[in-house]
Chain A
Amino acid sequence: MSTRDLVLTALFAAIIVALGLLPPIYLGFLPVPITAQSLGVMMAGVVLGARRGAIAVMIVLLLVAIGLPVLSGGRGGLAIFTAPTAGFLIGWIFAAFVTGYLSERLVNDQQSGLVQTVSFFLTAMVGGIVVLYAFGITYLATVAGLGFTKAFVGSMAFVPGDVIKAVVAALLGRAVMVGYPLLPLRA
């Protein structure tokens, strides 16, 4: 890994941590705040691609594990990984990786803005929702002993919020692609 890639992943990890410290962002039409950290996971894949995106998320989780309160609401420490929802945290790594992997293959700078945005939206949906929930629900079903059906139903409540995050991630992915393209020069 080049020093530049190392710095890029660290800076993106810092952005994800900072998103947890910032006041939640409200979208105009919804009363629900966007907790920006899971948005940061989708963005990591969309902006940095598979490998660097996944490493950025791993750095954040490593900070959590060594006892820094870097998750939103000042949560941190190894105990976080004993919560029934820990599967979603572990899934972050794979969500960023899959989002990035698909983005690297679907999006290039010759495409029109609309194609790029829609492709980013689809990759964020697959990585940030399908893959993430597969991990989260499996963990919830087995470790918390909830069973698959109930874990699935219980998790569905959070899908609408995550679809909105995928939209935001897609718009941001497109904006960064225009302003400072990193995805084509993949690590």
Chain B
Amino acid sequence: MQSLYVEGNSVMHRLSPRLKLVSLAALSVVLFITDNLAPLSIAVLLTAVLYGMVGLPFADALRRLRPIFLTIAVVALFNLIFNPWHEALVPLLRLTALMLFAATVTATTSITAFIDEVTALARPLERTGWVQADDIGLALGLVLRFVPEIVTRYQAIREAHRARGLKVRPTSLLAPLIILTLKDADNIAAAIDARGIRRHGS
């Protein structure tokens, strides 16, 4: 699976992931405090410049944001029908600026850097007994490892249906897919424990 990270050396690439996440949170607070169109428009311009500096080809940069921008625009249009234009424009600008900055953070932070950051942030939570920080990386790795296998398995089940002339229905396809996949859990868990990957595990 191709991540959305873009190789590069822009200002945003060089900042630490934590600083970027904190700025994203801070920006969202600031944007939601103000109702004034002028600072909101400036925010859109600045975040657009920042996103432009990431180094994505123009078409790619647009394609990534199209589905999100479409929902923002549709809601704004919906808003425009019922409310004065000022009230429709404020959320449009606000969310567009936030979207551009969030996309910049995603494009300039590698998956590894993100996982390290998430693990570091979860470390203090270990004391509550809710989560083991190292499990997060393990779980994410397991997902990425097994997605291709599940897709292959789905295709095999579908082929088997066709070969037997059965109708392809969601229930008859997904039930064996789920059962077969989850039945692997015992073996995978045994393999993880045999390697002592989770030393704290029960």
Contacts and interface: CB of A to CB of B under 8 A. Distances in A.
Is chain B's binding surface mostly helix, strand, loop or mixed? Answer: helix
A64 B3 CA distance: 10
Interface residues of B, number: 76
A19 to B, nearest CB: 8
Contacts of A80: 68
Interface stretch (A4-12, A98-106, A107-115, A118-126): A4-12
Interface residues of A, number: 64
A84 interface: yes
**Which of A3, A13, A143, A146 has the most chain B CB within a 10 Å cutoff?**
A3
Contacts of B192: 3, 6-7
A170 to B, nearest CB: 10
Given A3-B193, A25-B170, A68-B111, A83 B99 contact: yes
B1 interface: yes
Contacts of B105: 78
A62 B136 contact: yes
Given A62-B118, A176-B178, A144 B75 contact: yes
Contact of A77 (B4, B150, B185): B4
Interface of A: 1-4, 6-15, 17-18, 21-22, 25, 27-28, 34, 36, 39, 43, 47, 59-60, 62-63, 65-70, 73, 75-85, 140, 143-147, 150, 154, 168, 171-172, 175-176, 179-180, 182
Interface of B: 1-5, 24, 28, 32, 64-65, 67-68, 71-72, 75, 78-79, 82-83, 87-88, 90-91, 95, 98-100, 102-103, 105-107, 109, 111, 114-115, 118, 132, 135-136, 138-140, 142-144, 146-147, 150-151, 154, 167-171, 173-179, 181-186, 188-189, 192-193, 198, 201-202
Given A18-B147, A76-B106, 5 more contacts: A1-B132, A14-B150, A63-B143, A84-B72, A144-B79
